[in-house]
Amino acid sequence: MLFREIYRRLGRGLLLLLAVLVAGTVGYRWIGLSAGQDWGWWDCLYMTVITVASVGYTEVFPVRDIPGAEGFTMAIILLGAGAMVYASSVLVALFVEEDLRHALRRERMRKAIGKMKDHIIVCGTGSTGITVVRELRATKRSFVVIERDAERLARLEAEFGKEQVLYVQGDATEDDTLVRAGIERAMGLVAALPTDKDNLFVTVSARQLNPNLRIVARAVEAGTAPKLLKAGAHRVVSPNAIGGMRMVSELIRPTVVEFLDKMLRDRERNLRIEEVPVPPDSPLVGQPLRHAPIRRITQLLVIAAWEPEPDRYTYNPGPDYVLTAGVVLIVLGEVDDVIKLRAFFETGERSSVVEVPPQA
């Protein structure tokens, strides 16, 4: 039975019950007037309610002394009981359907999470965590949210849609919850819980469950950062420090800040500064950058390249820059173009990539 159909049936049941109350009130009023009795509207409604509810109170009117009143009362009892049974059954079905929907959704999410690989786990959806979720959605990354607060999960579903976000409701500091989020197959974890203590605990647990996991942790107190790094976090982010940098940047480089804000909030173009790694088995390894037709298949701008050995950045690499295994290109452009370039670097084929016409 569809959820909307249950609501429609519940509405019909309530309307039927209301119709019985109205008919009973009007009927008793008419019977009283026919018998020369001036029964008030409120008394007629009261008589109808106690008749439908079958509470067994003393009759308001002497129905046995008035022709037709007993038959009318029996009809009201039958119709009212039928309406109440119908409305009650639909109401029970409503709760059962709601529980069933939640159970089916949890089962679908469990299966979907079980199939995920190289995803990101976001622990906590407070002011920091929800920002992380929005950015992951905007950049089309696969992720799972861990949150124990039902109200926050409801807000998450209201913002992104019930079928758009995968989550595990539970305590992120517990190993079982992390396992249900697929931590063994994940590539990264964001520890954005309210307290440094919880984030430290999550970091330790996550590192034990997946030694190759990249962990970024939130720290409120500056003294917690070294502990988080020692516990296994790759990076520690302080919202207070970032807020201070943002404030001073608004003073000394306002145009740059405005540019970045517009880039992140542009509703027409999903622009980002992204990284595109060159896989070791890419056919472009050892080739100069000009052999990678970045501008022909995308509109990305390569602004830098990072070489893991010897941990060196090359800014604005030229066409003769040689691509080596593991080098990471830092590009500016639309997210869809970034996805195209990643696919091209992995296969070296353009057959499945739509080329972008050059700009006039």
Alpha carbons within 13 angstroms on the beta-carbon side of residue 252 total: 6
Alpha carbons within 13 angstroms on the beta-carbon side of residue 351 total: 2
- Look at residue 202 in the predicted model and tell me its pLDDT: 96
Helix (H) or strand (E) holding 189: strand 188-191
* Domains, the chain: 3-104 (1.10.287.70), 116-243 (3.40.50.720), 270-347 (3.30.70.1450)
Distance (Å, whole) CA 109 – CA 122: 15
Query: At 18, which amino acid appears?
Result: L
Distance (Å, whole) CA 352 – CA 349: 7
- Look at residue 355 in the predicted model and tell me its pLDDT: 43
Give the pLDDT of the chain (360 residues) as one tens digit per residue.
445 666 677 777 778 888 888 888 888 788 877 777 777 888 788 888 877 777 766 667 776 667 777 788 788 878 888 887 877 777 776 666 666 677 777 888 899 999 999 999 999 999 899 999 998 998 889 999 999 998 999 899 889 887 788 999 999 999 999 999 999 999 999 999 999 999 999 999 999 999 999 999 999 888 899 999 999 999 999 988 888 888 999 899 899 888 888 877 776 777 888 999 988 888 888 888 888 778 788 888 899 999 988 889 999 999 899 988 889 999 998 888 998 888 888 776 544 444 444 443
212-244 burial string, b = 16+ CB within 10 Å, else e? Answer: ebebbbbbeeeebbebbbebbbeebbbeeeeee
